[in-house]
């Protein structure tokens, strides 16, 4: 029997083996470094912003309602970043010459938006609707933590699929009366569940969907 021999040109593939091995290692390093960085999925991501906006001051001490700045959360899937005009409603007269607010004044003069850095950034393949959650009793604090105590906003939760599913499977701990959605310090009254009557619309409990198409569309 004649033996089989690979064509001579296949010898060139031997040169690709080291390159493939090195490339595979580099790919794995980059995948882990990017995929597991705080900016991607982990809590603790707190980027520097062009203006040192203190939520502890505005939402905490001054008691500004979250919806004053993020005015789309009850009607739209996304939480709008406030335009410069919203900030200038106050800062046209309050600390108008502060050096920290120079990017805001420049934006007001030129019409260019302030380049805020997104903190909570879901991947494109995940769909999240703010209005659907807020209008069913899920407070800002469940996903964003005590924003009203943060000098610098940081991501508090992993925002992973497993974390979302935990809430969908047991939403009760995250629910509250609709008029307490932006009261981040609210706690349920002991022994009184009457507030759930309005929230559940006559049903015994809320059952969020867990199908793939709920979040991946």
User: What DSSP string describes the chain?
Assistant: -PPP---GGGGGHHHHHHHHHHHHHHHHHHHHHHHTSTTTT-TT--PPPSS---HIIIIIIS---HHHHSTTTTTSSS-PPPPHHHHHHHHTTSSTT-GGGHHHHHHHHH-PPP-PPPSS---TT----HHHHHTTTB-HHHHH--GGG-SS----S---HHHHHHHHHS-GGGB--GGGTT-TT--PPTT--TTHHHHHTTSSS-----SHHHH--
Could you tell me the pLDDT band of residue 62, with boundaries at 50, 70 and 90? Answer: very high
8 domain residue, yes or no? no
Q: 151 lies in a domain?
A: yes
pLDDT tens, residue by residue, 154-210 = 999 999 999 999 999 999 899 999 999 999 999 999 988 888 877 776 555 678 999
* Residue 4 lies inside a defined structural domain of this protein: no
Q: Are residues 163 and 75 in the same domain?
A: yes
Q: What is the pTM of this model?
A: 0.77
pLDDT band for position 84 (cuts 50, 70, 90): very high
- CA 24/CA 12 separation, integer angstroms: 19
Domain that holds residue 139: 55-81+120-215
Average pLDDT in the chain: 88
Q: What is the pLDDT of residue 35?
A: 57
Residue 38 pLDDT > 60, yes or no?
no
Percent of the chain residues past pLDDT 70, beyond the cut: 87
Average pLDDT over residues 28-35: 64
pLDDT recorded at residue 33:
63
Residue 100 lies in a domain: yes
Give yes or no: residues 163 and 107 share one domain: no
Q: Is residue 76 over pLDDT 70?
A: yes
Residue 168 lies in a domain: yes
105 and 210 inside one domain: no
**Domain end among 115, 139, 166:** 115
- Domain total for the chain? 2
- Residue pair 119/45 in contact (Cβ under 8 Å)? The answer is yes
pLDDT mean over 93-117: 97
Do 148 and 205 share a structural domain? yes
Res. 70: pLDDT tops 80 = yes
End position of a domain, from candidates 100, 115, 130: 115
What is the per-residue pLDDT for 22? Answer: 82
User: Do 138 and 192 belong to one domain?
Assistant: yes
Are both 70 and 126 inside the same structural domain? yes
Is residue 21's pLDDT more than 70?
Answer: yes
Last residue of a domain, one of 68, 98, 115: 115
Residues 94 and 192 in one domain: no
Task: Note whether 110 and 96 are same-domain residues.
Answer: yes
Query: Does residue 34 lie within any of the structural domains?
Result: no
Same domain for 98 and 202, yes or no, is: no
Q: Do residues 90 and 162 both lie within one domain?
A: no
**Is the residue at 22 inside a domain?**
no
| Residue listed under structure tokens 């335009």 | 83
């Amino acid at each position: 029997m004649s033996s089989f021999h690979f064509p001579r040109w296949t010898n060139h593939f031997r040169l690709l083996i080291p390159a493939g091995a090195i490339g595979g290692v580099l790919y794995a390093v980059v995948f882990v470094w990017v995929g597991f960085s705080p900016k991607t999925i982990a809590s603790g991501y707190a980027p520097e912003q062009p203006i040192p906006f203190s939520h502890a001051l505005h939402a905490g001490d001054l008691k500004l309602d979250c919806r004053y700045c993020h005015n789309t959360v009850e009607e739209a899937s996304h939480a709008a970043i406030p335009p410069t005009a919203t900030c200038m409603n106050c800062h046209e007269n309050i600390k108008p010459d502060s050096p920290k607010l120079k990017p805001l004044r420049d934006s007001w003069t030129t019409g260019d938006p302030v380049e805020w850095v997104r903190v909570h950034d879901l991947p494109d393949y995940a769909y999240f609707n703010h209005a659907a959650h807020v209008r069913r009793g899920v407070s800002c604090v469940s996903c964003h933590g005590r924003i009203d105590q943060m000098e610098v906003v940081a991501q508090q939760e992993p925002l992973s699929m497993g974390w979302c599913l935990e809430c969908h499977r047991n939403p009760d701990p995250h629910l509250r009366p609709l008029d307490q959605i932006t009261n981040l310090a609210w706690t349920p009254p002991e022994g009184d569940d009457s507030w759930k009557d309005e929230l559940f619309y006559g049903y015994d409990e809320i059952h969020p969907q867990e199908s793939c198409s709920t979040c991946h569309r």
